Amino acid sequence: NAGVTQTPKFQVLKTGQSMTLQCAQDMNHNSMYWYRQDPGMGLRLIYYSASEGTTDKGEVPNGYNVSRLNKREFSLRLESAAPSQTSVYFCASSTGSDQPQHFGDGTRLSIL
């Protein structure tokens, strides 16, 4: 039982490059989320998808786009990476919007 799987685990990009972070869950959860974690700031919500076919902005959506490809998969895209987007990115899922969220192991992204 894999839970929430994120790929890649590590990535280094140059400023201006684009990249898609992948997330898949095998728990038949309806809701999925993307967060970024920066030192001393906890987790901040970038985008979420309350159910298949819907996506909504979170606290820090600028510079990102998302796609809820199907019930299992929720991807995060950086169209033109900036050094300020250097962070650890976490994907999470839950059965419903007010239920406990289960997290992947994260993607460590560095932008030079």
Partner 1 sequence: GEDVEQSLFLSVREGDSSVINCTYTDSSSTYLYWYKQEPGAGLQLLTYIFSNMDMKQDQRLTVLLNKKDKHLSLRIADTQTGDSAIYFCAETLFGSASKIIFGSGTRLSIRP
- Binding residues for partner 1, per CB under 8 A? 4, 31, 33, 40-43, 45, 48, 50, 56, 58, 90, 92, 97-98, 100-106
Query: What minimum distance in Å lies between the beta carbon of 15 and partner 1?
Result: 26
The residue (of 81 and 104) whose beta carbon lies closer to partner 1 is: 104
Q: Which of 103, 110, 57, 59 is nearest to 83 (CA)?
A: 110
Query: What minimum distance in Å lies between the beta carbon of 83 and partner 1?
Result: 22
Integer Cα distance of 18 and 81 in angstroms: 6
Q: Which of 39, 32, 49 is nearest to 93 (CA)?
A: 32
Q: How far is CA 12 from the centre of its chain?
A: 17
Query: What minimum distance in Å lies between the beta carbon of 105 and partner 1?
Result: 5
The residue (of 26 and 105) whose beta carbon lies closer to partner 1 is: 105
The residue (of 15 and 99) whose beta carbon lies closer to partner 1 is: 99
The residue (of 14 and 29) whose beta carbon lies closer to partner 1 is: 29
Integer Cα distance of 12 and 108 in angstroms: 8
Q: How far is CA 104 from the centre of its chain?
A: 9
